[in-house]
Amino acid sequence: MNNHTGHLLITRDNVFKIIVISSILTPYIAIILAIVRAPWFSIWANALSDLGEMKHICSAQIFNSGLALGGYLLGLAIALSQGIRAVNRLILCIAGFTLILIGVLNESYGYVHFIVSVAFFLTIIAYLTSYGYIHISLPAFIIAIIDVITWMLHFAYNLPPGAAIPEILSSISFVPFFLRETMKTGK
């Protein structure tokens, strides 16, 4: 990271790592900032996308732009990575694109927003399943199953009544596998 004079070296690998980490952190930072700006928000009763509804101007701009930027950075990270299997690359590109769409076609768009949100979370489950198969990873399969159960409880039994908890759990669940795969292949 540093050369013999103590200055930070700007290398392709360092820039790549910053992009990968930023692709993960940007949406979560935006979500946290939007929640701080939205005293009405309940993690139990709301969906995260409620923060992006245009009537909530204090949170919507932060939330929607953070998700769109995060999706762009995810796509950039995948484009710059090397060695990720084609199927995982495709799934992750779709995840990045649908994350952009969640921010652009925000909650104010109603059913269209619901469709792109479902597509995003299905890509996460697809990625975990594909990762588990390719890398022979039992934890990836188990987490994919937990994600499916979490979403089934929400949609079938209204547990929890808002989607924020399943959204957070599902989106966080793929992060360790994504980091492992991209950081290993990003050289």
In a domain, 37, yes or no: yes
Q: Which pLDDT score is estimated for 3? A: 57
Residue 6 lies in a domain: no
Specify if 106 maps to a domain. Answer: yes
Q: For residue 81, is it within any domain?
A: yes
Task: Using the CB atoms, write b or e for 15-46: b if 16+ within 10 Å.
Answer: ebbebbebbbebbeebbeebbebbeebeeeeb
pLDDT band, very low/low/confident/very high, at 186 (cuts 50, 70, 90): very low
Residue 3 lies in a domain: no
Question: Could you list the residue range(s) of the whole structural domain that residue 35 is in?
Answer: 12-185
Domains of the chain: total = 1
pLDDT of residue 5: 61
26 is a domain residue = yes
Q: Which is more confident, 184 or 71?
A: 71
The tally of CA atoms less than 13 A away on the side-chain side of residue 182 is: 31
Rounded to two decimals, what is the model's pTM?
0.92
- What are the tens digits of pLDDT across the range 37-52? 999 999 999 999 999 9
Residue 135 class from Cβ within 10 Å (0-12 exposed, 13-18 middle, 19+ buried)? middle
